[in-house]
Amino acid sequence: MNSFLKYLNQMVPLSEAVQEAISEITIRRVIPGNTLFFQNGDVCKEFHFLENGLARVFYHKDGKEVTAWFASEGQIVSAIDSLFTGQPSFYNIQMTEDSVIWSLQFNKIEPVFQKYPVVERLGRLLITQNYLLLDERMKLFAFCSAEERYEKLLIQIPDITQRVKLGHIASYLGISQEHLSRIRAGLRHGHA
Amino acid sequence: MNSFLKYLNQMVPLSEAVQEAISEITIRRVIPGNTLFFQNGDVCKEFHFLENGLARVFYHKDGKEVTAWFASEGQIVSAIDSLFTGQPSFYNIQMTEDSVIWSLQFNKIEPVFQKYPVVERLGRLLITQNYLLLDERMKLFAFCSAEERYEKLLIQIPDITQRVKLGHIASYLGISQEHLSRIRAGLRHGHA
DNA sequence: ATACGATTTTGATAATTGTCAAAGGAATGC
DNA sequence: GCATTCCTTTGACAATTATCAAAATCGTAT
């Protein structure tokens, strides 16, 4: 069983037949690092499970890239605003490292929903989980300073600073790169 | 057919039997204005459809109330972080006006999911729609100034300024009440 | 109409954070 | 090894926004 099916199985136990049906609409992809995997303005028709590697979801603001999300091994990533609306997305997705992903072709899933109601449940749980992640992110902005948000990100992805540029992290935290640099300097002197 | 069932039907057509099953786990409530309807620290087991009235979702930050969400007629409201996790919520919900709501008892829905897969689909679509609303809100913060966010809120709920205090709107926009007041002054002079 | 309390606005000031420019470091290719 | 380029840090300054206090306005009850 591949890592994607394992991930799904742990949310809801799936019969052989269901796993087969899902596999039929899933593509395994090997992506080289630094690939712009999905471009804003396009319509997204898949969602992706990262077997390994790192994805960065970002948008353009005043000519600059602003990171909206990081996804790493064992997580789901997609231009979810487009996937569920059929409208062009605001987001871009870049694989920042060599990655192996499983892409589920969402536009082919309707017959599977019809045939296997358990997949409908699976879909409900997946989107619910993503909703809660987004809610967590909003709470981080609500309750925590930029410094605290940085520290929480380090807990979540400890080696993130080795994996992406500081500017990408800064925009994810909602601050300028210079400000993040100063926060880091403060942490160094405060803790050393 | 009541307004809640109408709302659900327009997402997915529901048979008589399904409507009946949903009605059995739904309670109609008449809530006087200014009621603290749900309190943080409690576990939320329902979600609510507003037939009319206005709900304000808020949390406490440094002793002050910060608005996370407004919901008005025809919309869904819940302490969604708790509903899906079973953990105590960070949120409070206040009905700011006399309201009529339909409360679906989510903790009784599992048998309905089991019996009627279409309800699972309904649940999936409901949470998807709410995800997209949250994504929109994040994009508003990403792309728009406080002034633009205020103008968009006015489009969404035109009479919001008559319905809640300015401070509640300001915290929803992520700015101080004084700053919002100045933005309003600027708009008045700019447009007059 | 008037007085009271609540809400909103305005003013002055301080704190936070962004921007621009330059310097310092690290990685890469020749 | 050295040059080039990219990334990060630091410094100086400007812009934005918060905070605190006071004044103005609004709504309501008497």
Q: Supply the CATH number for residue B71's domain.
A: 2.60.120.10
Let me know whether B45 and B88 are in one domain.
yes
Q: Smallest Cβ distance to A84: which of B68, B120, B132?
A: B132
Q: What is the pTM of this model?
A: 0.92
Q: What is the pLDDT of residue A9?
A: 97
CB contact under 8 A, B131 and A132: no
- Number of domain units in chain A: 1
Residue B111 and residue B136 in one domain? yes
What count of other Cβ atoms lies within 10 Å of the Cβ of residue A19? 16
- The predicted-structure confidence for A142-152, as pLDDT tens digits, reads as follows 888 889 899 99
What range does the domain containing B186 cover?
144-192
Q: Is B156 on the interface with A (CB under 8 A)?
A: no
Q: pLDDT tens digits, residue range B83-106?
A: 999 999 999 999 999 999 999 999
Distance CA A93, CA A37 (A): 5
Last residue of a domain, one of B142, B161, B183: B142
For the stretch A99-145, pLDDT in tens is 999 999 999 999 999 999 999 999 999 999 999 999 999 988 888 88
Residue of least CA–C1' distance to D16: B179
Q: Does the distance separating the beta carbons of B66 and A142 come in below 8 Å?
A: yes
Which of A12, A85, A112, A135 is the mutation pick for testing B, counting most B CBs within 10 A? Answer: A135
Q: Residue A191's pLDDT is what?
A: 52
> Mutate which of A12, A57, A132, A171 to disrupt the B interface (most B C-beta within 10 Å)?
A132
Instruction: Note whether residue A126 is domain-resident.
Output: no
> Any chain A CB within 8 A of the CB of B130?
yes
Q: Is there a single domain that holds both residue B10 and residue B73?
A: yes
Asked if residue B67 has pLDDT above 60, the reply is: yes
pLDDT of residue B192: 40
Q: Is residue A74 part of a domain?
A: yes
How high is the pLDDT of residue B144? 85
Query: Hey, is the C-beta of B90 within 8 angstroms of any chain A C-beta?
Result: yes
- Regarding whether B89 and B63 lie in a shared domain, the answer is yes
- CB distance from A127 to chain B under 8 Å? yes
- Beta strand spans in chain B (E): 26-31, 35-38, 46-52, 54-61, 64-72, 76-77, 92-95, 99-105
- The answer to whether the beta carbons of residues A120 and B124 sit under 8 Å apart is yes
Same domain, B84 and B179: no
Pick from B122, B128, B130: nearest CA to B12: B122
Q: Is B58 found in the same domain as B34?
A: yes
Render pLDDT for A11-45 as a digit per residue (tens, 0 to 9).
999 999 999 999 999 999 999 999 999 999 999 99
Mean pLDDT (whole number) for A46-74:
94
Does one domain contain both B121 and B175?
A: no
Residue of B40, B107, B119, B44 lying closest to B77 (CA atoms):
B44
DSSP lists the bridge partners of residue A48 as: A77, A103
Report phi then psi at B140, rounded to 5.
Answer: -60, -45
Say yes or no: A65 contacts chain B, CB-CB below 8 A: no
Tell me, what's the pLDDT at A189?
74
- pLDDT single digits (tens) B129-149: 999 999 999 988 888 888 989
Same-domain pairing of B109 and B43 = yes
What pLDDT, on the 0 to 100 scale, is given for residue B190? 64
What percent of chain B has a predicted confidence (pLDDT) above 70? 98
The pLDDT of residue A192 is above 60: no
Residue A135, domain member (yes or no)? no
Verify whether the Cβ–Cβ distance B128 to A66 is below 8 Å: no
Q: Which residues touch B38 (CB under 8 Å, ≥6 apart)?
A: B44, B79, B89, B91, B92, B93
pLDDT digits (tens, 9 = 90+) for A64-86: 899 999 999 999 999 999 999 99
Cross-chain Cβ contact B84/A143 below 8 Å = no
Share of chain B above pLDDT 90, in %: 87
> Does residue B151 have a pLDDT over 80?
yes
Asked if pLDDT for residue A90 goes beyond 50, the answer is yes
Average pLDDT of chain A?
A: 94
Cross-chain residue pair A123–B123, CB shorter than 8 Å: no
* B87 in the same domain as B122: yes
- State the pLDDT at residue B142: 81
